[in-house]
Amino acid sequence: SQTIHQWPATLVQPVGSPLSLECTVEGTSNPNLYWYRQAAGRGLQLLFYSVGIGQISSEVPQNLSASRPQDRQFILSSKKLLLSDSGFYLCAWRHSRHTEAFFGQGTRLTVV
């Protein structure tokens, strides 16, 4: 069976510090991978998605970047965090387009 791991669960980082959030999927190959951000009590904002190694599509130009160094690994990064980067970050995967998505448990990031 397939599983998705996302860590850490919570993170408190100072303004200006770097960020690296990792997401890995097990039990499948060549998944479509997604990073979303959710503000408190709000909907999900699509940040990045990837259909293959090294292929990243950015939906919202901002202080973040994403990379997919391996087939089942998706990393969200920032060189210098801003207060506005605080939020709940969710990683998701699906087999291909037009199928259901499976989500990780999320990382709550607080930038102080």
Partner 1 sequence: SQQGEEDPQALSIQEGENATMNCSYKTSINNLQWYRQNSGRGLVHLILIRSNEREKHSGRLSVTLDTSKKSSSLLITASRAADTASYFCATDADAGNMLTFGGGTRLMVKP
**Residues near partner 1, by CB under 8 A:** 6, 32, 34, 36, 41-46, 49, 51, 57, 59, 88, 90, 92, 94, 97-106, 108
Which 3 state secondary structure label does DSSP give 83? helix
Nearer to partner 1, 83 or 98 (CB): 98
Shortest Å, Cβ 80 to partner 1: 25
Nearer to partner 1, 42 or 79 (CB): 42
d(CA 67, CA 83): 22
Query: What tokens does 31 get?
Result: 């998944």
Which 3 state secondary structure label does DSSP give 4? strand
CA 2 to chain centre: 18
Report the Cα–Cα distance between both ends of the chain, in Å, rounded: 38
Shortest Å, Cβ 89 to partner 1: 11
Nearer to partner 1, 14 or 100 (CB): 100
